[in-house]
Amino acid sequence: MQDATEEMGFVSTQELRAMEQSNATTQVVLKQNVVSANDNKSAEEKKNTLTVTDNRTGKQYTLPIFANTVDGNDVFKIKAPTGAGLRTYDPGYLNTCSTRSKICFIDGAKGILRYRGYPIEQLAEKSTFLEVAFLLVHGELPTAQQASYFNNRVMRHTYIHEELKKMMRSFRYDAHPMGMVMSTVSAMGTFHPEANPSLAGQDCYKDISLRNKQVHRALGTMSTMAAYAYRHRIGRPFVDPSNSENYAENFLYMLDRLNHKNFKPHPRLARALDVLFILHADHEQNASTAAMRHLTSTGVDVYSCLGGSVAALYGPRHGGANEAVVRMLEEIGDISNIPAFIEGVKNKTRRLMGFGHRVYKNYDPRARIIRTIAEEVFSILGKEPLIEVAVELERIALSDKYFIDRKLYPNVDFYSGLIYKAMGFPTDYFPVLFTIPRTAGWLAHWYEFIDDKDNRIVRPFQIYEGYGARDYVAENVRAKAPQVTAEIGSASSAESKRRSAGKDE
């Protein structure tokens, strides 16, 4: 007869004990699995660390590694015997990450460039500059409604104040176009006090509609200021924007329209320029973008930030590089002179411009696209005579062991200057053509910086190498010093010369 407890659904004492033993065994196994998982996790966490022994104190430190970087605050926890935290010395920020960003990705070793994850090759083929500008600023490609609204707002903000136009007319006839644009965009902030944190309050950019309006205005007016700088440069009256054209067409319209009421820019040239704008829209933490973030950290208005970024781009080691390429090719002059020029590069008496890059150790992906654009432009306007020199110089450099070993490949500047020259732009105008599209990238980083709660005002440290404390000495008893001349430098510049000469005494 079965046990009544079993018939009624109860468990017998023997079965209960067996179940308890089984549960105990299961719990042990579960605990072992948890311990094993924790051990694996612990091992993985240990794997992503850097162990440092400070030989000054004998102390050992374990620093977490994330995204292949070490947090500077963790490095500072390594203390000297005096208690001072350890810092890193990195001139030019060659190996320093100053921000987290989702805007632009570069893999220099593989020659990859992506905006918000999209390959630059696809965007250059299928997108437009204003669509890319929206992508950079807002993080996603726009819907049809978003694109229509964004394009409309940008193109409605292409007019600049009449007083700004007067200011641009007041520049000398031979003023550098880049200096004109830099000055005008900086002055623009004085016309919009509602967008100046110093006047409207430090939290004014928390108003997203106000912030977006500055994006539309900056993108729209930058092309107009650039066009006016060109017209002033060649002594022609300014042409008001046309709202019936797209962004690149409107820019060419303001550059070239004379008296013809129905003037239309060449559509293929406008498309070529639009693609060039896409290629130049952003490029990670370059000098001018870093300047944008640096200035944004102070809380200054966006137009002052843009003025500082334009100033950084003005430099020949940054935005003026394509201008330097054209001057180099003009100096070479003929294919027959290339071998002597190459030898000069190898023995350090000549500089090869348009090759190599701080980031790329492979062929710049933008340079491949630009070669195609160059052929398109030359098919319309005729071949630029210097292109033969450029092609032969590229062929020789890419087959020469000297350049191969140093991973010196053509960059975006090598062919872009030739395109601009073929389109009739003065050489000193090239950096302005870089400024227009890069405004989109600068604004994207401005937008991102404002929203990033980790960011603080930028304040790098220095290694002080000057005098220790010393007492003031009256003028009549000071040691005899060199006579003041136009060539006299500072103690620091003299020290720099000694170092460069290998005489660090």
Q: What is the signed CA dihedral for 151, 154, 158, 164, rounded to 10 degrees?
A: -170
Backbone angles phi, psi at 107, to 5 degrees: -115, 95
Angstrom CA distances, 496 to 90, 482, 500, 504, stand at 17, 18, 6, 9
Nearest to 97 by CA among 61, 140, 65: 65
Q: What is the DSSP letter of 353?
A: T
Question: Which tokens is 136 given?
Answer: 């950079």
Which amino acid makes up residue 57? T
Rounded distance, CA 366 to CA 416, Å?
Answer: 10
Contact 227, 254 (CB under 8 A): yes
Q: What is the DSSP secondary-structure string of 260-307? A: -TT----HHHHHHHHHHHHHTS--SS-HHHHHHHHHHTTT--HHHHHH
Rounded distance, CA 373 to CA 275, Å?
Answer: 8
Rounded distance, CA 303 to CA 442, Å?
Answer: 11
| Number of C-beta neighbours around residue 459 at 10 A | 7
Q: Which residues, in sequence order, are bridge partners of residue 355? A: 410
Three-state SS at 309 = helix
Q: Which residue in this structure is represented by tokens 């709202």? A: 243
Which amino acid makes up residue 175? A
Rounded distance, CA 218 to CA 298, Å?
Answer: 19
Q: Which residues contact 6 (CB under 8 A, 6 or more apart)?
A: 12
Q: Which residues contact 8 (CB under 8 A, 6 or more apart)?
A: none
- Would you name the residues annotated as active-site residues? 318, 357, 413
Question: Which tokens is 188 given?
Answer: 């623009």
Helices 177-188 and 430-451 sit at what angle, rounded to 10 degrees?
Answer: 30
Rounded distance, CA 402 to CA 19, Å?
Answer: 77
